[in-house]
């Protein structure tokens, strides 16, 4: 066993360095959320809600939130394995000026304080502002490099504006990828990371800006036992913490008459849950068995590094290719528009909604991540068989470095018909799951908040 540990310790950190690179999962979650919820009459025809600044919400609810967040912390400590407790000094306290409340809230929920949390809506691809004020993408995200936010039109909102809950939810479901979870670890060289109590970044390269969010957006809950034995740090993934926290705040805000923040928090919860349906977020190395990992690393230890380097590059390339394909295909469907594109239909497909038990706190781990990890090997194979080898089977090609300008949906159009169908089938299957789980979580929030009555 010691030898196995030694072998795995050699390979896992290196593989995860890459696994943690492309951590956005579905690129632009709003595209799927709009579709998934458009078939829920409660959301489609929901009355508009009044936009409210975060400070206004906090000032109105500060006393109640102190209790709600204390109870939430107790729940997470009792229910989320290897949860790093929130330091007592960061507990939310009521009273104080609005700016101070905002700071205390951000510290209590331990998010990146550089995120502005402006008031905005994302517009659907192709939709015009038509005289409404716009908001530059740099005002919604802290990312300055590779972000799909650059291609999105944002509408600037003001307190008192009225907006559709569906648009608030869809917009917010993309927001956790705008820098919310960046720099939170104590070795991320940020002042806040040193106070948040999350410890050192469990995997990923802390020097890379985007990688530090990965442990919050991935859930490695169903690896082989031997993997955890060798690499205990893999247990330190926290989407369950985020999902529960944002749900709790959503229910409180909806119940207390702050519907805008209710739906915005709900969208944040949806994001992490949707991430768990991406097989490359629910399995460390889809397509690579434990025995093969051991072999790869054994030859690596003997000085033959090519096999390990190849495995790392291929897993990373396929992860990125899947997200790139989904993003470009759905964006194109909005732009044409083609509401009956297979991926759009998959998000709206309610056929399986009743096949799942109603959403509960075990769903993210036991249902959603489990389902994605079960599909991981098949997904990996489908990608390998459907796309040109250059993108997914050539260890000399680094998708991460060359992605700019690459449109895998367009590339796939040149593949044989059967390959195109296989890729459509795989992605639609995954998005069918995303759609069903998205509606399931929203239904549970409506029931808990009394908003469905």
- Is residue 329 a contact point for Zn ion (CB under 5 A)? no
DSSP secondary structure letters along 351-374: TTGGGSPPP-TTIIIIIIIHHHHH
Q: Whole-number minimum distance, CB 309 to Zn ion, in Å?
A: 27
For Zn ion, the closer of residues 53 and 331 by Cβ is 331
- Is residue 217 a contact point for Zn ion (CB under 5 A)? yes
For Zn ion, the closer of residues 104 and 217 by Cβ is 217
- Is residue 308 a contact point for Zn ion (CB under 5 A)? no
DSSP secondary structure letters along 300-356: HHTT--HHHHHHHHHHHHHHHHHHHHHHHHHHHHHHTT-TTSHHHHHHH--TTGGGS
For Zn ion, the closer of residues 177 and 380 by Cβ is 177
For residues 34, 170, 138, 57, the Cα torsion angle rounded to the nearest 10 degrees is 160
Q: Are 218 and 237 in contact (CB under 8 A)?
A: yes
Closest residue to Zn ion in the complex (CB): 217
Cα separation of the two ends of the chain: 57
Interface characters, 7-26, with Zn ion (x: CB under 5 A): ------------------x-
The number of residues that bind Zn ion (CB under 5 A) is: 4
Q: Which two tokens stand for residue 294?
A: 């051991």
Q: Are 117 and 87 in contact (CB under 8 A)?
A: no
For Zn ion, the closer of residues 270 and 426 by Cβ is 270
- Is residue 102 a contact point for Zn ion (CB under 5 A)? no
Q: Using alpha carbons, select from 207, 369, 190 the residue that is nearest to residue 283.
A: 369
Q: Whole-number minimum distance, CB 24 to Zn ion, in Å?
A: 5
Interface characters, 157-186, with Zn ion (x: CB under 5 A): --------------------x---------
Q: Are 426 and 24 in contact (CB under 8 A)?
A: no
User: Which part of the chain contacts Zn ion (CB under 5 A), choosing from 57-65, 78-86, 216-224, 362-370?
Assistant: 216-224
**Dihedral sign for Cα atoms in the order 295, 297, 301, 304:** positive
SS3 135: strand
Q: Whole-number minimum distance, CB 347 to Zn ion, in Å?
A: 17
For Zn ion, the closer of residues 217 and 432 by Cβ is 217
From candidates 275, 300, 323, 403, binder to Zn ion by CB under 5 A: 275
Question: Which positions touch Zn ion (CB under 5 A)?
Answer: 25, 177, 217, 275
């Amino acid at each position: 066993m010691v030898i196995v540990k030694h072998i795995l310790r050699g390979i896992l950190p290196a593989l995860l360095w890459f696994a943690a690179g492309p951590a956005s999962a579905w690129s632009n979650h709003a595209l799927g959320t709009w579709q998934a919820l458009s078939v829920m009459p409660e959301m489609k025809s929901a009355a508009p809600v009044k936009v409210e600044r975060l400070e206004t919400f906090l000032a109105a609810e500060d006393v109640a939130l102190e209790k709600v967040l204390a109870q939430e912390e107790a729940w997470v400590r009792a229910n989320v394995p290897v949860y790093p407790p929130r330091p007592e000094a960061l507990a939310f306290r009521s009273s104080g000026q609005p700016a101070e409340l905002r700071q205390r809230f951000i510290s209590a929920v331990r998010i990146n304080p550089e995120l502005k949390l402006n008031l905005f809506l994302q517009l659907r691809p192709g939709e015009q502002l038509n005289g409404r004020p716009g908001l530059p993408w740099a005002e919604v995200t802290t990312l300055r490099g590779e972000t799909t936010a650059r291609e999105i039109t944002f509408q600037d909102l003001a307190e008192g504006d009225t907006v559709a809950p569906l648009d608030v939810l869809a917009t917010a479901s993309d927001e956790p990828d705008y820098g919310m979870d960046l720099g939170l670890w104590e070795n991320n060289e940020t002042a806040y990371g040193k106070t948040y109590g999350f410890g050192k970044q469990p995997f990923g390269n802390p020097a890379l800006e985007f990688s530090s969010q990965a442990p919050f957006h991935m859930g490695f809950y169903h690896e082989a036992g031997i993997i955890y034995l060798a690499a205990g740090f893999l247990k330190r993934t926290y989407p369950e913490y985020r999902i529960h926290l944002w749900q709790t705040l959503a229910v409180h805000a909806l119940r207390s008459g702050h519907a805008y923040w209710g739906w915005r928090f709900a969208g944040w919860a949806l994001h992490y849950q949707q991430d768990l349906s991406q097989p490359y977020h629910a399995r460390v190395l889809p397509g690579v068995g434990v025995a093969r990992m051991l072999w790869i690393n054994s030859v690596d230890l003997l000085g033959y590094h090519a096999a390990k380097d190849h495995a790392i590059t291929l897993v990373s390339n396929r992860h990125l290719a899947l997200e790139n394909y989904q993003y470009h295909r759905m964006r194109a469907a909005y732009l044409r528009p083609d509401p009956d594109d297979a991926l759009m239909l998959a998000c709206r497909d309610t056929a399986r909604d009743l096949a799942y038990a109603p959403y509960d706190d075990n769903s993210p781990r036991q249902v959603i991540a489990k389902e994605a990890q079960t599909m991981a090997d098949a997904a990996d194979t489908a990608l390998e068989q459907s796309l040109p080898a250059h993108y997914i089977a050539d260890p000399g090609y680094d998708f991460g470095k060359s992605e700019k300008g690459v449109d895998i949906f367009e590339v796939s159009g040149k593949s044989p018909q059967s390959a195109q169908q296989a890729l459509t089938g795989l992605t639609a299957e995954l998005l069918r799951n995303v759609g069903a789980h998205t509606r399931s979580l929203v239904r549970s929030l409506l029931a808990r908040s009394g908003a469905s009555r």
